[in-house]
Amino acid sequence: MHTYRNARILALLVTTAFSGLILLSVVASISTWFECSMLQRAIDGAEITESEALSSDLRQGLIGLCQMGLYIATVVLFCIWLNRANKNARALGAQDMQFTPGWSVGYFFIPIVNVYRPYQAVTEVLRASDPDARPFSEKPWQRSAAAITGWWWAAWCGLAACGCSRSGTASGGR
């Protein structure tokens, strides 16, 4: 039996962490643009000072460390929140849920299964938490929650694909 525990603070922390990741990604993109500009100047024959190159490397490294730390914190917070949301749905009387609180989080860490099961688990929690949420409803406020889950999952998978391709490129494709 699960008891209801308010997840408002967890939800706020997860939202803040995701927002921070978005902001940090914008900063990283701008920093990468500066780095590419510097490298293009070097290719074009301009002299790049050692201090300019070192400060660019330091900036890129610090941004990367911040991104990694915030990403890990976001993943941990999101997993805690998802587990809590699943338990809360059950505590409030949701019946016949297919995914347990543990597996709703665990599926994120199983290769191949992590492509589709987490979306299903999050959608189930959404539907169990809001019985009026209908993906094909005529009412936009009832469609929006299901649509947001779809957009979130598409963005999550897209970012994962970008991360994989970027790490493959950085290691020379090995």
Q: Is the backbone of residue 85 left (phi > 0), alpha (psi -120 to 50) or beta?
A: alpha
- pTM of the prediction? 0.80
Residues 13-31: tens digit of each pLDDT: 999 999 999 999 999 999 9
Q: Which range has the worst mean pLDDT, 22-26, 89-93, 170-174? A: 170-174
Residue 118 lies in a domain: no
Mean of per-residue pLDDT scores for the chain = 86
* Percent of the chain at pLDDT exceeding 90: 64
What is residue 93's DSSP assignment? T
Residue 30 lies in a domain: yes
Number of domains in the chain: 1
Q: Contact 18/67 with Cβ under 8 angstroms? A: no
What domain range includes position 80?
A: 8-93
Residue 101 lies in a domain: no
* pLDDT of the residue at 162: 75
Residue 74 lies in a domain: yes
Q: How far apart are CA 107 and CA 83, in angstroms?
A: 12
Q: Residue 173: pLDDT above 50?
A: no
* pLDDT of the residue at 56: 95
Q: Is 116 helix (H, G, I), strand (E, B) or coil?
A: coil
Taking Cα atoms as reference points, which of 74, 83, 85 lies closest to residue 7? 85
Residue 41 lies in a domain: yes
* pLDDT of the residue at 145: 62
35 versus 158: which is more confidently predicted? Answer: 35
Residue 67 lies in a domain: yes
